Structure 1
Amino acid sequence: METRPTTSRSLDAYYHINGDTFEKQYKEVLSGYRRWNEYSHADEWLIFPENVGKRLCIDETSISDGELYTIVSNPEARGREGSLVALVKGVSSNDVIDTLKLIPEDKRSVVEEVTMDLSNSMNLIIRRCFPKAKRTIDRFHVQKLTCDALQEMRIAHRWDAIQADTDAKEEAKEKGEDYQPTTFANGDTQKQLLARSRYLLFKSMDKWTESQKERAAILFDIYPDIKEAYSLTHSLRMIFNKNTVKDAARMSLARWYDKVDNSGFKSFNVIAGTLYEHYDEVLNFFTNRATNAFAESFNAKIKQFRAQLRGVIDIKFFFFRLSKLYA
């Protein structure tokens, strides 16, 4: 059963106590916070070597005032005690490497795989600290790049449509005529078509509703470049969904690169170049189909805990409580 963090103020109504007073007593006396072995450096780094497992996740998150921290977690703990392996202030590869090397080498050598995003600094951290581990780039970060490129194309067309609509209104006004925008068969104007197509472009065709199918048909007929970009995005998604063998995935990605090259889309060519730079790490996904989803989920737990506390005033005390829950 998952532990739900409790705040001192939440005990007011149940035990008829002063929550503020109890919070101070808990922090200064009952919790053992001031006697915590990690107190002197807790706002800079924390490590828990006993939580190292065969597979780890590494990611960054903002905890307080936009300050970024690098977090290493163990997905085998499933978000419970033993999940937190290391927490380091900042995203500097040198700082994170120096901290992680405080974990005994025999512990670090048992790590077989680490999942990460497309960050070069994360790649370097893993190579230096977990030399025996396979580095696997999260598929969802890769897919997000293509989705972002597709949405940027839609947004560019929408701005053009807004400008054309504004110009048409001004022209009608000068002529003393009523302005009536053109509507398509589904009732959308051009601006509405581009605005309302946002969500359907994130989904596979087989998950479209009937109205989305109608809207997509109109959109693709008017904007063939969006249709081609959607096809490239969907093709990459299918490579990750359907390929189960690394060699087959390698061939599928090679064909996808050819399609991107033929499309002439600058943004997709940049994405293809990024994937090529991290080719081995991307392909490692097809060995165990490991993703960084746990890291994202763990980050969400931390932010939820922060929200329950209504923000972070004392960062050391926040990390103290975090370690009690997840380390």
Structure 2
Amino acid sequence: MRRGCSYYDMVRKTWRHTNLCEHICNIEGNVPRVRCKSCGKVFRVSAPWAFDSISRYTHRFEMQLIRLAKEMPISAVSREMRVDDSTVWTILDRYVQRRMESHNLEHVHTYYVDEKAMRKGHDYLSTFLDQDHRVIFVGEGNSSDVIHDFMRYLETHGGSVDNIRHVSMDMSGGFKKGNAECFPDAKVTFDRFHVVRHMTDAVNEVRRREYSNLLRAQEEERKALKGQRFLLLRNHKDLGDSERDSIKSLMSMFPDLGRTYIQKESLRATWGMEHKYDARDFLTRWIKESIDTGIKELIRVANTIERHMDGILNWYESRISNGVMEGFNNVLQAIKGRARGYHSFERYRTMIYLRSSGIC
């Protein structure tokens, strides 16, 4: 009973319980209500077998539903528990909200952030992982505002801006702007996989340009270039002998493509140096060589890398990479695919917290 409250009356209430021998089981009982002496409001006392006073389900029923939701699609949970989808979501939303309210982030000193498209178009969510690769925050959108939202969440859950020492992200403008405003003392490491992806995109753009220039050229050359996209984008060390022979042939036939491909492969050496200053010298030479080629696609990437060089080379201190986020995005896709997509950000966020936060 609440302190400073007096007995008011008794009300009859029914709670749905776990099935008994495949039959729906309900619990009925009288629950007291009390009146607060200070404000005069009347409150219902929580039953010991329910999470709170407004719940229409027993603790055991809700926990069974939650365990199933971690492993099964929502539609299957609904059929198994004999409730409609809206009831399942109500129970999950309230449970996740209760758990996340007690989320303690005082240990967080590093965070990873990446965006994920919720559906076709420009609807995104951003997920934040801590140094132990657990989800600590899910925000709507991919602008600088989502970093501000994360900062507020961090500080209201025991964390501190001053504790954040390292950040791993891609080179998107929104993330950079938000991090500079919210975590100015944290060292940003720009993800090596996104850096290399800029180069693979450049290789593909050059391939397309070369192919379009061959529309009136010899049919043999067109056939040699057609369908080679994924071969050109793969890591050279992972290719077989026949595939490497194909690459050599393409490089001799198409000089711009060959030069761009060489620069793509040599860029990987940036993260293989013994010291950071060696990597800086190498990357400086790489940028100059790329610009000197006169290939516009390569020049664009070289300029991008030059602007972000400090963040790229911070890897030598942090040793962190958004490869963690790339793997987690596969988890997000599996969560989304299991439900054949979520129609709202709130429901998608609920499932991410439920299955990947480690506290739900």
**TM-score category by the smaller chain?**
0.7 to 0.9
Asked whether 1:250 is paired with 2:280, we answer yes
Using a 3 Å threshold, how does the CA distance of structure 1 residues 32 and 295 change in structure 2: closer, same or farther? closer
Q: Distance in 2 between matches of 1:274 and 1:314?
A: 35
Q: Distance in 1 between matches of 2:216 and 2:170?
A: 37
CA contact (8 A) 2:147 2:179 kept: no
Asked whether 1:239 is paired with 2:234, we answer no
Using a 3 Å threshold, how does the CA distance of structure 1 residues 9 and 249 change in structure 2: closer, same or farther? same
Residue 112 of structure 1 corresponds to: 165
- Return the letter of the residue paired with 2:72: T
Residue 266 of structure 1 corresponds to: 296
Give the drift of 1:87: 1.8
**Which of 82, 86, 89 lines up with 2:140 in the alignment?**
89
SS at match of 1:192: helix
Post-superposition Cα deviations, 1:5-52, rounded to whole Å, max 9, x if no partner, equal 32244368xxxx567735444334xx26357648xxx9xxx9955286
Write the mapping of 1:141-290 to structure 2, written as runs, cut at 5 A.
141-164=194-217, 181=219, 189-240=220-271, 242-290=272-320
**Structure 1 stretches lacking a partner, 5+ long:** 78-82, 166-180, 182-188
Post-superposition Cα deviations, 1:177-207, rounded to whole Å, max 9, x if no partner, equal xxxx5xxxxxxx3222112432332234443
- Return the letter of the residue paired with 2:261: Y
* Root-mean-square deviation over aligned CA pairs: 3.0
SS at match of 1:162: coil
Residue 26 of structure 1 corresponds to: 88
- Return the letter of the residue paired with 1:6: M
- Return the letter of the residue paired with 1:275: I
CA contact (8 A) 2:147 2:182 kept: no
Identity over aligned pairs, percent: 21
CA contact (8 A) 1:158 1:195 kept: yes
Using a 3 Å threshold, how does the CA distance of structure 1 residues 278 and 19 change in structure 2: closer, same or farther? same
Write the mapping of 1:126-141 to structure 2, written as runs, cut at 5 A.
126-141=179-194
Whose RCO is larger (CA < 8 A, sep 6+)? Answer: 1
Higher share of residues assigned helix: 1
- Return the letter of the residue paired with 1:146: M
Q: Distance in 1 between matches of 2:258 and 2:330?
A: 34
Using a 3 Å threshold, how does the CA distance of structure 1 residues 19 and 156 change in structure 2: closer, same or farther? farther
Using a 3 Å threshold, how does the CA distance of structure 1 residues 76 and 51 change in structure 2: closer, same or farther? farther
SS at match of 1:310: coil
**Which of 106, 110, 117 lines up with 1:55 in the alignment?**
110
Q: Distance in 2 between matches of 1:92 and 1:196?
A: 36
CA contact (8 A) 2:109 2:131 kept: no
Residue 312 of structure 1 corresponds to: 342
TM-score, with length taken from structure 1? 0.76
Q: Distance in 2 between matches of 1:69 and 1:123?
A: 16
Using a 3 Å threshold, how does the CA distance of structure 1 residues 283 and 159 change in structure 2: closer, same or farther? same
Post-superposition Cα deviations, 1:153-196, rounded to whole Å, max 9, x if no partner, equal 1111112223435xxxxxxxxxxxxxxx5xxxxxxx32221124
Residue 174 of structure 2 corresponds to: 121
Asked whether 1:71 is paired with 2:127, we answer yes
Give the drift of 1:113: 0.8
Q: Distance in 1 between matches of 2:150 and 2:269?
A: 39
SS at match of 1:71: strand
Using a 3 Å threshold, how does the CA distance of structure 1 residues 316 and 205 change in structure 2: closer, same or farther? closer
- Return the letter of the residue paired with 1:255: R
CA contact (8 A) 2:205 2:297 kept: no
Residue 151 of structure 2 corresponds to: 100
Q: Distance in 2 between matches of 1:314 and 1:259?
A: 47
CA contact (8 A) 2:143 2:175 kept: no
Give the drift of 1:143: 0.9
Q: Distance in 2 between matches of 1:288 and 1:84?
A: 20
Q: Distance in 2 between matches of 1:304 and 1:264?
A: 43
SS at match of 1:21: coil
**Structure 2 stretches lacking a partner, 5+ long:** 1-68
Higher share of residues assigned strand: 2
Give the drift of 1:4: 5.5
Q: Distance in 2 between matches of 1:129 and 1:142?
A: 24
Using a 3 Å threshold, how does the CA distance of structure 1 residues 34 and 225 change in structure 2: closer, same or farther? closer
Would you say how many aligned residue pairs link Structure 1 and Structure 2? 286
CA contact (8 A) 2:196 2:267 kept: yes
CA contact (8 A) 1:161 1:191 kept: yes
Write the mapping of 1:8-27 to structure 2, written as runs, cut at 5 A.
8-10=74-76, 21=83, 23-27=85-89
If you compute each CA radius of gyration, which structure gives the higher value, 1 or 2? 2
